[in-house]
Amino acid sequence: MATKFTYRSGQRPLDGFTLKRGVGQGAFGEVYFAVSDGGKEVALKLLLRGHTDAELRGVTHCINLKHPNLVHLFDLRTDARGDRWVVMEYVFGESLAHVINKHPTGLPTQVIREWFAALCRGVSYLHNQGVVHRDLKPGNIFIEHGHLKIGDYGLSRRISGSEAGDLSRGVGTPYYMAPEIKNGNYTASIDIYACGIILYEMVSGLRPFNGETPYEVLIKHITETPDLTKLPAPYREVIRRALEKDPAKRYATAVELARAVEEMFTGGRREAALPTASLADAAVSMTPQLPRGRPVPPPTPSKTEPLEIPSGAAVPVASPARAAAPQERAGVPGPLTHTARDRLTELAGGLALAPLITAACTAPWAVFQGPVPWTLLGRVFLLSTVLAWAVMVIGRLPKKNEHNPWGRRAIQLVVGLCIGALAFWLDGWALPTGTASASTGDIVLPFTGQRISQSTLTIGMKYLIYFGVTVAVFRWWTATDHNRRERVRFTPIIAATFWSAIFLFLWPWEAAPAMTGVSVLVIATVTAQVASPWAGPPPSLRSRAYYSRG
Ligand code: ATP
Ligand code: MG
């Protein structure tokens, strides 16, 4: 496929630069790694002849653009033969296409989150400068020291309707082409569409539309709806909208798209404003340099020491809180997805930790309450541990519908009823058997023949109702959310105190001190928060921490 390069290593077709090696060839020309007479390492792109001045104006327009997520353009020069050269920053790293190839089932979730936000920031900057990229694709996106940079902007030739027709003859890579390109009538929205396809690919390792010929792929962009079932559920709606056939129905801006993705990760909580938040800047210190994967070793080994990200493995992050955490990966449904094994390991660790925390909370309670019988302490310890365990486990259930918590509440109600039954049993109200203490008011249970007195039944019911109601009303899923902003917050503790106190009128006062109920709820809330697996501070906070350390 690759033809010979026009120039060899050591040649100086462009005054002031010595070519070191050819890097690759694309639709617009060939790229060389070169060094200027002053020692500056650059990429030189020799543009194919036949570019019109109007097309080159695109490069000229971009020559002074500056953004951390754009490959820096230094100059547009003409050599002695009249050929045009784009002098640009040489990116030591590898293309996003390479990274995706190495992760055939999708990139780690945290990486998607950071790189996609960075991509949208770069695209948004271009759009604000009046530039539509037109050729956004993983091959034109580079990752250097974990930092994402978009290349080849300002270079793409106008893709007019007639040129789109060339696709039938196999020109171009139409995997990222918006359907309206066929009319030659398009706006910045084609970049939003391309970002949608890129996100699809980052998440699943697959492209939504494939075909034997470029023409077939383009026809699919125009006529077929993308198969979203291959994506983890939280991504589906965002990608569906980014890939709308009608540009008017897509996200209006790259910022809007980035925000929708970020909200997917934060569950709707507002993070720092995306255009200014420095997710990718934080990633500079977080991700190892990825190898370029080129046949010829790059000239400065010190800059390119490859630290391979093995397929499916972790990309280390700077935050100490996260450093040891297993990496999330795309591919498993859930807002921030882990592999099932990672999730189980984390959860098991949390469950093991829970009794220690409840014990630590129960002890001071004994001190403040004065002399408390050990049996009561034991009951509080056991009930709060079991409750914390239960809410931690149900907190990991997939969220079917964020906006309808009633399914979750129903499960919580069942948990509460079980806790009530356990409290009743621990209280020593094991059901009397036989007929020894039979009295006329007793209720005889069917099948077992066990008898329960009216008063015992009332106490049992009160336990069930009290714990059923208080556990059901509380929003445990926010306290145990993997992506909660802080590991432990006071609001849930206050809420637990509030609800457990409000419903004390249901408490079986005759059986146990009311503080038992309140303590169980409060201690379980503290424990569930401390012990529940936590993703660490959101990236905006992490990057702030990074800068304040620096
Ligand atoms: P297209 O023409 O559609 O952009 P392409 O990206 O494959 O296709 P080129 O842009 O010509 O083709 O790039 C050719 C090769 O040079 C690619 O392997 C690319 O990764 C590499 N390359 C391009 N620009 C740079 C750069 N600034 N720094 C380092 N490598 C680069
Ligand atoms: Mg390119």
| CATH H-level, domain 95-335: superfamily | Transferase(Phosphotransferase) domain 1 (1.10.510.10)
Q: CA geometry: angle at 501 spanning 496 and 502, to 5°?
A: 100
Q: Tell me the mean pLDDT in the region 437-466.
A: 76
Is the pLDDT higher at 448 or at 113? 113
Instruction: Please say if the pLDDT value at position 243 is more than 80.
Output: yes
Pocket mutation for ligand 1, best pick of 71, 73, 140 (most atoms within 8 Å of C-beta)? 140
Q: Among 188, 117, 183, 125, which Cα is nearest to 156's? A: 188
In terms of average pLDDT, the best of 326-335, 389-398, 458-467 is: 458-467
Q: Tell me the mean pLDDT in the region 126-132.
A: 92
Domain with CATH 1.10.510.10 in the chain: 95-335
Instruction: Please say if the pLDDT value at position 82 is more than 80.
Output: yes
Q: What is the CATH code of the structural domain delimited by 9-90?
A: 3.30.200.20
Specify the pLDDT at position 73: 96
Contact 203, 235 (CB under 8 A): yes
Specify the pLDDT at position 421: 87
Q: Tell me the mean pLDDT in the region 5-15.
A: 96
Q: In whole angstroms, what is the distance from residue 190 CA to residue 197 CA? A: 11
Q: In whole angstroms, what is the distance from residue 356 CA to residue 310 CA? A: 36
Contact 43, 90 (CB under 8 A): yes
Instruction: Please say if the pLDDT value at position 226 is more than 60.
Output: yes
Is the pLDDT higher at 400 or at 422? 422
Is the pLDDT higher at 215 or at 227? 227
Q: Tell me the mean pLDDT in the region 435-462.
A: 72
- The whole-angstrom distance between residue 518's C-alpha and the CA centroid of its chain comes to 36
Specify the pLDDT at position 121: 98
Q: Which atom of ligand 1 is nearest to the CA of 140?
A: 6
φ/ψ of 73, rounded to 5, equals -95, 130
- Select which of 135, 152, 281, 427 is catalytic: 135
Q: Among 211, 200, 212, 61, which Cα is nearest to 133's? A: 61
Q: How far is the CA of 242 from the centre of ligand 2 (A)?
A: 23
Q: Tell me the mean pLDDT in the region 231-235.
A: 94
Specify the pLDDT at position 325: 35
Q: Which residues line ligand 1 (CB under 6 A)?
A: 23-29, 31, 43, 71, 88-91, 95, 135, 139-140, 151-152
Residue nearest to atom 27 of ligand 1 (CA): 90
Question: How many C-beta atoms lie closer than 10 Å to residue 482's C-beta?
Answer: 21
Q: Is there a catalytic annotation at residue 135?
A: yes
pLDDT digits 0-9 by tens, 467-508: 999 988 888 888 887 766 678 888 888 888 888 898 988 888
Instruction: Please say if the pLDDT value at position 222 is more than 80.
Output: yes
Q: Which helix (H) or strand (E) holds 493?
A: helix 490-502
Q: How far is the CA of 400 from the centre of ligand 2 (A)?
A: 40
Q: Tell me the mean pLDDT in the region 274-298.
A: 35
Q: Tell me the mean pLDDT in the region 231-255.
A: 96
Q: How far is the CA of 537 from the centre of ligand 1 (A)?
A: 36
pLDDT digits 0-9 by tens, 353-381: 888 888 888 877 666 666 677 777 888 88
pLDDT digits 0-9 by tens, 290-309: 333 333 233 333 333 232 32
- Ligand at minimal distance from the CA of 22 is 1
Q: Is 453 exposed, middle or buried (0-12, 13-18, 19+ CB in 10 A)?
A: middle
Instruction: Please say if the pLDDT value at position 221 is more than 90.
Output: yes
- Ligand at minimal distance from the CA of 139 is 1
Pairing of strands 73-78, 84-89: antiparallel
Question: How many C-beta atoms lie closer than 10 Å to residue 405's C-beta?
Answer: 14
Is the pLDDT higher at 146 or at 302? 146
Contact 458, 464 (CB under 8 A): no
DSSP state of 168: G
Is the pLDDT higher at 529 or at 335? 529
Domain with CATH 3.30.200.20 in the chain: 9-90
Q: Which atom of ligand 1 is nearest to the CA of 135?
A: 3
Share of the chain above pLDDT 90, in %: 39
φ/ψ of 29, rounded to 5, equals 155, -160
Q: In whole angstroms, what is the distance from residue 75 CA to residue 60 CA? A: 8
Q: In whole angstroms, what is the distance from residue 136 CA to residue 195 CA? A: 7
Specify the pLDDT at position 269: 62
Residue nearest to atom 16 of ligand 1 (CA): 24
Q: What value does the mean pLDDT of the chain take?
A: 78
Specify the pLDDT at position 242: 98
Q: How far is the CA of 128 from the centre of ligand 2 (A)?
A: 22
Q: How far is the CA of 199 from the centre of ligand 2 (A)?
A: 18
Taking the chain, what is the end-to-end CA distance rounded to the nearest angstrom?
Answer: 47
Comparing 103-117, 191-205, 344-358, 441-455, the range with the smallest average pLDDT is 441-455
Residue 532, strand partner residues: none
Confidence grade of residue 13 (pLDDT, cut at 50, 70, 90): very high
Q: How far is the CA of 195 from the centre of ligand 1 (A)?
A: 18
φ/ψ of 401, rounded to 5, equals -145, 110
Residue nearest to atom 10 of ligand 1 (CA): 26
Residues around ion ligand 2, judged by CB within 5 A, are 26, 140, 152
Comparing 122-131, 346-355, 424-433, 477-486, the range with the smallest average pLDDT is 424-433
Q: Tell me the mean pLDDT in the region 98-110.
A: 95
Instruction: Please say if the pLDDT value at position 77 is more than 50.
Output: yes
Is the pLDDT higher at 378 or at 114? 114
Is the pLDDT higher at 191 or at 436? 191
What is the amino acid identity at position 474? F
Q: Which atom of ligand 1 is nearest to the CA of 294?
A: 18
Specify the pLDDT at position 265: 86
Q: In whole angstroms, what is the distance from residue 326 CA to residue 315 CA? A: 9
- Ligand at minimal distance from the CA of 134 is 1
Q: Among 321, 324, 292, which Cα is nearest to 305's? A: 292
Residue nearest to atom 18 of ligand 1 (CA): 24
Specify the pLDDT at position 440: 67
Specify the pLDDT at position 159: 38
Q: Tell me the mean pLDDT in the region 87-106.
A: 96
Residue nearest to atom 8 of ligand 1 (CA): 26
